[in-house]
Structure 1
Amino acid sequence: MAATPDPTPHLPQSPEQRRAADIIRLLTLYRPLLDAFVIDFFTEGLWARLPPAWQPALASATPAQLAGLLVGHGGPGAAWPLSLLAFAAAARALAFPRGCPGGSPRPPCQSSRLHPLLRRHVKPKKQHEIQRLGKVGAPPAPCDLPAPPQPPDSPPFPQLLQRLSQATSCERVVDIGAGQGHLSRFLAFGLGLSVTAVESDGRLARLAERFDQELLRELGKPKRLGHERPPRRCPNPAPQPLTPRAPRHVAGRLDPTAPWGDFLLPPDPPGPGPAARNPLGGPGGSEDGGRVLLTGLHACGDLGPALLCHFARSPAVAAVALAGCCYMKLSTAPQPPGCPLGYPLSTSVAALPGHQLSYRAREAACHALEEYEGRLRGGSAHLRAHCYRAVLESLIRAADPGKRHLGLQPGRKAHALDFPQYAHLGLPLAGLDPAGVPLDSGAVGAMLEQQHKVVAFCTLGQLLAPAVETLILLDRLLYLREQGFHCALVPLFNPRFSPRNLVLVAARTPLAVVLAGLDKDSEDGDSSEDGDSREDDDLR
């Protein structure tokens, strides 16, 4: 597929532009697969839409063989058609590398690299993310065993935001979409940075302030002699002491269309809480005329593009580090006049025919590929959830054709039930009486026997999903390159328990020093009991 003509057709395309064009070609070929909702598997005959040459191999494939197809590591006894192998290889090759997951499929219950006071109220996944995003690791503390030898060029666990702070000589951070303030608290108390946390929900901003005050009270208590734990036998460094420097919390929403000096709107809904005072509202772009770093840890939907646009037009912002999420909430064409698009941002991607992404495609980009692979290899009972929901959709549509794609939540443990139990939970949520629905009919049994086909169909969607996410992230990277900024995408988090692990970093100065060695950073080395399992995947 050729790109539309542009004013400078003689200019060569960058590797990123070529990759974006190749992804769009692939997605165009398989758009019916990409845009399909799995819950329509039976109602719309999705299996018959697959290439006929693929159907026998997929129908007979074991979950372990599907896992091999998903990640390209082969599978025991699998014999795939060449066209299916080519499809899978192309999808994997075009997606951004996500790093080597390795290790436990779940984060340790507690991160020993975080100060104990910074772990309070913070889930293990978030502990991993803020530690990786924020800090240079502490120097080794005394342990009974010597620390394991490190390669001579191995950095001391350097992390991203502190490297950005050092490279730009900027100690002010504005954390957009700060939530309960966990990252902001770590940057302020743990690193001693000057942090402003901006959150649209005033209730969360007030809760974050309460957590800050709890931590300040703990820091003000005298040390209780005789009650400290002796150094444990471990290779992990002890966390550095905290500084009594709390972040400042601001309740306000980001206005994506406003100039950089007026980028905050009042919170929604309005209410009591910290005033919406603009941290970029001073004469030099920040309150005291200095420069700031912008960060958003899993900024939802249009918040991510808005952050990048404010960085691009605000001279006060020295650099930005952004991890996105909820791509299905991005604004796409058509939009009312004056409303910015969340996708595409770049002129490069916008000029490519077929660049449009449906809601379903953007939803698929919020994938958890590594977790799904683990479920396939382990033959997890979670795999039946998609089939259950597709059968339930068929029953609902038969009873009331007007009820389609209802957001039903029969429960987190629904996969552990048999289908009649599942249906008795789900049908009332659709306003239907289970007594009037034939749950033990031969047709229901025949659909349940096709669970393996539903799983295979889901696997094909998972194969395409990382390529869709790559296209969205490429669009953001190309937008920044078009503005003349230095930028890169870094697989910063462990994708097994932080699936949105690619962080977009951009600055007004070269990033080579900032990014050098990040791929060698160590993960949290704690080993402990597993935390709570993640919620079931979206069943659409």
Structure 2
Amino acid sequence: MGDDMPGVPAGPVTSRVPGGAAMAAAPQGRPQRPEQRRAADIIRLLTLYRPLLDAFVIDFFTEDLWAQLPAAWQPALASATPVQLAGLLGGRGGPGAAWPLSLLAFAAAARALGFPRGCPCPPCPPCPPCQSSRLHPLLRRHVKPKKQHEIQRLGKLLRRLSRATGCQRVVDVGAGQGHLSRFLAFGLGLGVTAVESDGRLVGLAERFDRELLRELGKSRALAHRGHPLTPRAPQHIAGRLDPAAPWGEFLLPPDPPGPGPAARNPLGGPGGSEDGGRVLVTALHACGDLSPALLCHFARSPAVAAVALVGCCYMKLSTAPQQPPGYPLSASVAALPGHQLSYRAREAACHALEEYQGRLRGGSAHLRAHCYRAVLESLIRAADPGKRHLGLQPGRKAHTLSFPQYAQLGLSLAGLDPAGVPLDSGAVGAMLEQQHKVVAFCTLGQLLAPAVETLILLDRLLYLREQGFHCALVPLFNPRFSPRNLVLVAARTPLATALAKDAEDGHSSEDEDLEEAESPREWQNPQ
């Protein structure tokens, strides 16, 4: 099933997902550090259930994925309501649910090995965030509520890192429209260099800066909760990160190259940054290989005192040995048999588990989209066996359509004539009646997603451990509306001060104090 990566040991994996078999034996030379043991345990779990992890839900009918589940699981999952599936996903049970012990063991292992995501709220459908009252009104302009929440929380963490390290300069890589950079500069008074590869976004960020400066000039006394803005705009640079370059050659020209002089390296040369001091480096939702590349630059560059990174788009990580490191990054994970992650597994790590759980509890119409797409894949393959996994996007509101309407759109996108494909046949109706099974299968994949993300983040943490740095993983954002909420923090000095509760930041349901995700000895202090 799926696209298994070469080199994955056969071990206990068969053509069927194992139904509660004992975990595979630990490799010889069991790692001693807690994070190494956790990585090894995750790999053993993923190896046991790799057929489930690597399965594409759109192949549900074409590859008969339901039949590949353990026989003991099938009746319980087939009769489960969406609310009961949400309970299985959240570990809180469900009304009237009677799950096989092997299924409960699988779910418990997956939840235990995934990194705690820090959601303090009781289970309920996800609610959209509102405007952040903790951000100055001028800093909320052009910024969606989700991003307001993220920049406010990450900004406070960076201010703590600044105080703990004595660094007043921040380099924001992949800055986009500059929302985080503006909060750091105007709101927190830090010196900020914003690096973005898209010259159009750089221009837009500079325009937003000018707008804010004009408004600030009109009412210099304007304050928010007693904290006036600082008239200090970020410096914007158009440039691309070169993952393979020495640390003194941090940037490449933007692609395509823009007008003006070549960008100066914000990390500077051997003497430090361009102003002679050290810097903090941050990236909010650094896509694919950007996070590993920044960690490598941090390890090589004495000008970088600390980093705080939030990754995303794990499926874009490079995995070939001859390419710049993406995954695995650490020697510890690379040495573990079965550590390889397929494209499908890395894509699963990007799922929004809390959002899916909310859809299950609310019986959202979005749930039918999985079945629609699986039926459409079956129709496409029947009409043209050469067409497979085409990446069709019938639209964001496709779940609101009837299946014939959805299929007509999808078939047209696939280059097929909808008139030549029977959409009201008994076979199509029989597949649509199995929507509950498709949703149950998706739920099993959702259970494994946090464990995969944890393995990827543990690999990065272990890489930093191997270099002798202090590091921590912090669940900083509310995962209900910011699924990639785990921030990797690393520094050349201890992090206890930066991650300690700070009374001046206050405490509210919107901006809770930073909490350690695990014990300080396990996650923060390098041994």
Aligned to 1:179: 176
Q: How far 1:522 moved relative to its partner?
A: 3.2
Structure 2 residue ranges without an equivalent (≥5): 1-23, 512-527
Alignment CA distance shift 1:184-1:33 (3 Å): same
Q: Which amino acid aligns with 2:187?
A: G
Superposition pairs of residues 178-197 of structure 1, within 5 angstroms: 178-197=175-194
- Verify the 8 A CA contact 1:59 1:452 in the aligned structure 2: yes
After superposition, give the CA deviation of every residue in 1:152-207 in whole Å (9 maximum; x if it has no partner). xxxxxxxx111000000110000010000000011000111110000011111111
Aligned to 2:360: 376
Q: Which amino acid aligns with 1:477?
A: L
Matched, 1:350 2:371: no
% identical equivalent positions: 88
Q: Which is further off, 203-212 or 19-28? A: 203-212
Matched, 1:330 2:320: no
After superposition, give the CA deviation of every residue in 1:109-138 in whole Å (9 maximum; x if it has no partner). 311101111111111100000000113xxx
Q: Which amino acid aligns with 1:28?
A: T
After superposition, give the CA deviation of every residue in 1:278-297 in whole Å (9 maximum; x if it has no partner). 11124422012210000010
- Verify the 8 A CA contact 1:349 1:475 in the aligned structure 2: yes
Q: How far 1:223 moved relative to its partner?
A: 6.6
Aligned to 2:408: 424
- Verify the 8 A CA contact 2:31 2:37 in the aligned structure 1: no
| Root-mean-square deviation (Å) | 2.0
- Verify the 8 A CA contact 2:39 2:333 in the aligned structure 1: yes
How many pairs align? 485
Superposition pairs of residues 513-528 of structure 1, within 5 angstroms: 513-517=497-501, 521-524=507-510
Aligned to 2:202: 205
Q: Distance in 2 between matches of 1:12 and 1:108?
A: 41
Q: Secondary structure at the match of 1:489?
A: strand
Q: Distance in 2 between matches of 1:372 and 1:185?
A: 33
Q: Distance in 1 between matches of 2:128 and 2:212?
A: 24
Aligned to 1:164: 161
Alignment CA distance shift 1:248-1:109 (3 Å): same
Aligned residue among 312, 315, 319 for 2:299: 312
Alignment CA distance shift 1:43-1:167 (3 Å): same
After superposition, give the CA deviation of every residue in 1:413-445 in whole Å (9 maximum; x if it has no partner). 111111011112211111111111100000000
Q: Which amino acid aligns with 1:13?
A: Q
Aligned to 2:38: 19
Structure 1 residue ranges without an equivalent (≥5): 136-159, 232-236, 526-540
Q: Which amino acid aligns with 2:213?
A: L
Q: Secondary structure at the match of 2:161?
A: helix
Superposition pairs of residues 34-433 of structure 1, within 5 angstroms: 34-102=53-121, 105-135=126-156, 160-222=157-219, 238=225, 240-272=227-259, 275-335=262-322, 339-433=323-417
Q: Distance in 1 between matches of 2:31 and 2:198?
A: 46
Q: Distance in 2 between matches of 1:73 and 1:377?
A: 12
Superposition pairs of residues 487-498 of structure 1, within 5 angstroms: 487-498=471-482
Q: Distance in 2 between matches of 1:13 and 1:422?
A: 53
Alignment CA distance shift 1:50-1:521 (3 Å): farther
Length-normalised TM-score, structure 2:
0.89
Q: How far 1:523 moved relative to its partner?
A: 3.9
- Verify the 8 A CA contact 1:39 1:393 in the aligned structure 2: yes
Q: Distance in 2 between matches of 1:213 and 1:368?
A: 36
- Verify the 8 A CA contact 2:54 2:344 in the aligned structure 1: yes
Q: Which amino acid aligns with 1:30?
A: Y
Aligned to 1:530: none
- Verify the 8 A CA contact 2:129 2:481 in the aligned structure 1: no
Q: Secondary structure at the match of 1:405?
A: coil
Alignment CA distance shift 1:4-1:100 (3 Å): closer
Q: Distance in 2 between matches of 1:401 and 1:322?
A: 43
Aligned residue among 460, 476, 496 for 1:512: 496
Aligned residue among 421, 428, 431 for 1:444: 428
Q: Secondary structure at the match of 2:228?
A: coil
- Verify the 8 A CA contact 1:346 1:479 in the aligned structure 2: yes
Q: Distance in 1 between matches of 2:452 and 2:464?
A: 19
Q: Secondary structure at the match of 1:411?
A: coil
Q: Which amino acid aligns with 1:120?
A: R
- Verify the 8 A CA contact 2:332 2:462 in the aligned structure 1: yes
Q: How far 1:412 moved relative to its partner?
A: 1.1
Aligned to 1:531: none
Q: Secondary structure at the match of 1:398?
A: helix
Q: Secondary structure at the match of 1:117?
A: helix
Q: Secondary structure at the match of 2:283?
A: strand
Alignment CA distance shift 1:42-1:521 (3 Å): farther
- Verify the 8 A CA contact 1:177 1:299 in the aligned structure 2: yes
Q: Distance in 2 between matches of 1:129 and 1:425?
A: 36
Length-normalised TM-score, structure 1:
0.87
- Verify the 8 A CA contact 1:206 1:274 in the aligned structure 2: no
Q: Distance in 1 between matches of 2:129 and 2:266?
A: 35
Q: How far 1:271 moved relative to its partner?
A: 2.1
